[in-house]
Structure 1
Amino acid sequence: MTNVFRLFGEGDDLYAEMVRSIRTATQRISLASYILAADEVGTDLLDEMMKKSRQGLDVRIHVDALGSSGVLPRQLRHQLRAAGIRLQRFHRWSWRQPMRYNRRDHRKLLVVDGKTAYLGGFNIHRQGSRRFYGPKRWRDMHVCIHGALASEADALFNAFWSGDLQWNPDSHTVGDSRIIPNTTRSCRTQLRCTIIDQLAGASESIWLVTPYFVPDRGLRKQLISASRRGVDVRILTTQKTDSAPAQWAARAMYAELLEHDVRIFEYTPRLLHSKVLLVDDALASIGTANFDYRSLFINYELTLVSGNRALNGLLREEFVSDLREANEITDRAWKNRGFMKGAYDALGLLLRKWL
């Protein structure tokens, strides 16, 4: 089965294409977003969705209650429902189930008519837009999928919407690609297991892009093992961050990896928010999951794993381009950073499972 992919590295291009897809919808529109903000970006998209709902289309929006807290006001939620849109807010605070509040819906997925799907790191907010946020907009990646795989994305949305949070398609691969959640009934850590298999099978290169780099011991072991057998292992993370403790935790792990010739780079121009893994020339992953405890063990995520040569080539080009604007962390410089920075890193490490 043939899947057609289009890669987006600019939010303005992505949001405009999403609006165009919504305008062409004839049956249903399904949107999941961790952050859905009632700003210049969000209102434009939501206005189009309300128009389609008033025309009789089935329009559903699934937002994370915490992620969209404060940016999707109650008045707008009433307007959406008044327009006929079905809106769910995932895991609202409950005194009866306080621990579930820690498990967030971190997915970013738009599916139109079961034929077109958008998946990746971009939230629906002005921070992804050069037009509204300026040159310091977040650096992110998203992919548009046309073909049979979009139908699988539609099924994944439907299952989650109906409360089956661990549903996984029976047909694991469509053509050369598949979309996987991180938690299924058969495996509580499916995404982590998939990543470990990918890292263990690498023979030439492992290139990872993540804003929050807090791997558990097993993943660090796989990265080190790959480097020892001659694989080119490069980690591209962000210098600018919206979570200082997460960055402390990441930096606490640099020394061990640098000691085993894993190369680490920090992207400097703006906040890097992409989530991409490239293994050799054959396999790529792009989606919503960070390389940390929260994405791999706690939150709900979606990741596209693809052997599509054209898509993988584009992702590799983006990686090389971003690397030109990153500072490489060297072992010597890292060892001479000073006591206080090391103390912050140690604190972040203690909090790593809760960041």
Structure 2
Amino acid sequence: MTNGLARPSPPDGDRGGRPCTAGSQVEIAGECAWFCVPSLHEGHGTFQLFTEGDDLYDAMISAIEGAEHNVEMESFIFAADEVGRRFATAFAARARAGVHVRLHLDAFGSDFPAFAAIRRDLELAGVRFKWFHPFRWLHPLEYIQRNHRKLLVVDGRDAFLGGFNIRRRNSRKLSGEGRQRDSHVRVSGELARVASVLFDRLWNDATPIQPDAIPEAPTGLDALLVPSHSRRCRQRLACLYSGLIEKSRRYLVFTSPFFAPGALIEEAVRNAARRGVEVRLLVPRTGDPPVAGWATRAAYEPLLAAGARVYEYLSRKLHAKTSVVDGEWSVIGSANLDHLSLFVNQELVLIARNRSLAEALRIHHEQDLQDAAQVTLPQWRRRSWRERGLEMLGRTARRLL
């Protein structure tokens, strides 16, 4: 592979097929770039970006109502509120019309008593329903891994993915100016077909991933859907991010609810800043839960000392997960920059080599900075001993976030 960010393929027998592991940071950053940073050509495909829940939900419902064959949805949170009931009504109507509808929800995020009536109505209408990893006494450790993906696929021709859950908190109409800040993207064509394959794989618990599910060495593509795990790499998202960061030359723009990705990515970000890359990180002022904010702040001083810029979002809860590299590469999806998303949970992101999408995400990031406060190194070094103590607790809890 010679295009884009990927390096030439290794010779036969040299690392071929050996899965990446979470060992040496330096070794991983180089080795996983062979497999995990795709070789994409620069494209001009159209991606529809959503930053308002009402707009997204209207588009998703319209797509569901137009479904002719299949509707497939995954979500971490599917609330039993006005938004959740609206989707349930649309699902039930299509199922009664003979459309094959499947709903795969995370048991930790959505299995609450209020949802029981919605589930009953869906199943009576013919919707096939499944919980991801409900708690089982015989397999308690399985409960640690969650399905954090947010995905809707309609007829294998349109797919929506990103950070939005199904709940009123994302709606301006229902939650007003305090609504959650998030991002989602709509894709079509081959990417939607791949999304359907990935949905089916997780629905059926098919492991390892089938060879045709996602190409390890894509050719002729300008974008790719990347799940948490692949046949060759058990931590593909961490390797993807570190490879992109390693290759950056001008700027890196990150928006994330958390920043506790581990030594591999944090070192790559600091190295990029030291070599003159403009690095901007936007995270929320208030962590949710609070320990997540403490863990994020534990990374501030090394980042600031390396020359990175850190901003704290003030006006709303920040839930968007987007990255832009050099105005050319974009990543948007469900994965936070934290240990659980990068190494444990089921996640799904879009990586695209598309300047239009990169510019749109960069503009939204800069608009968000207007509602943020910059954290400077002198200011940060004057923080209280109480804050330093909370950071130590957050650092200790990083692998639980």
Normalised by the size of structure 2, how large is the TM-score?
0.86
1:349 and 2:391 aligned = no
Q: CA deviation at 1:4?
A: 2.7
User: Structure 1: which 5+ residue stretches go unaligned?
Assistant: none
2:381 match: 335
Q: Which stretch has the larger CA shift, 157-166 or 221-230?
A: 157-166
1:275 and 2:317 aligned = no
Is the alpha carbon distance of 1:296 and 1:228 closer, same or farther for their aligned partners in structure 2, counting shifts above 3 Å? same
Contact 1:37 1:71 in 2 (8 A): no
| Amino acid across the alignment from 1:142 | H
1:4 and 2:46 aligned = yes
**Partner deviation per Cα, 1:103-156 (whole Å, 9 max, x = no partner):** 000000000000000000000011111111111111000001122211111111
Q: What is the CA–CA distance in structure 2 between the aligned matches of 1:277 and 1:215, rounded to whole Å?
A: 14
| Amino acid across the alignment from 1:345 | E
Q: Residue 230 of structure 2: SS of its match in structure 1? A: coil
Matches within 5 A, 1:75-86: 75-86=117-128
**Partner deviation per Cα, 1:275-295 (whole Å, 9 max, x = no partner):** 011110110000000000000
User: Structure 2: which 5+ residue stretches go unaligned?
Assistant: 1-42
1:264 match: 310
1:158 match: 200
1:286 match: 332
Contact 2:222 2:354 in 1 (8 A): yes
Aligned residues: 355
Matches within 5 A, 1:1-355: 3-70=45-112, 73-164=115-206, 166-167=208-209, 169-172=213-216, 173=218, 175-355=221-401
Q: What is the CA–CA distance in structure 2 between the aligned matches of 1:134 and 1:242, rounded to whole Å?
A: 20
Q: Residue 107 of structure 1: SS of its match in structure 2? A: coil
| Amino acid across the alignment from 2:194 | E
Contact 1:267 1:326 in 2 (8 A): yes
Q: CA deviation at 1:268?
A: 0.7
RMSD: 1.4
Q: Which stretch has the larger CA shift, 1-10 or 312-321?
A: 1-10
| Amino acid across the alignment from 2:242 | I
What's the % identity of the aligned pairs? 38
Q: What is the CA–CA distance in structure 1 between the aligned matches of 2:306 and 2:101, rounded to whole Å?
A: 51
Runs of 4+ in 1 over 4 A off after TM superposition: none
Q: CA deviation at 1:87?
A: 0.4
Q: CA deviation at 1:2?
A: 7.3
Q: What is the CA–CA distance in structure 2 between the aligned matches of 1:29 and 1:3, rounded to whole Å?
A: 24
Q: What is the CA–CA distance in structure 2 between the aligned matches of 1:303 and 1:343, rounded to whole Å?
A: 34
| Amino acid across the alignment from 1:23 | E
Q: What is the CA–CA distance in structure 2 between the aligned matches of 1:152 and 1:237, rounded to whole Å?
A: 31
2:20 match: none
Q: CA deviation at 1:3?
A: 4.2
Contact 2:333 2:349 in 1 (8 A): yes
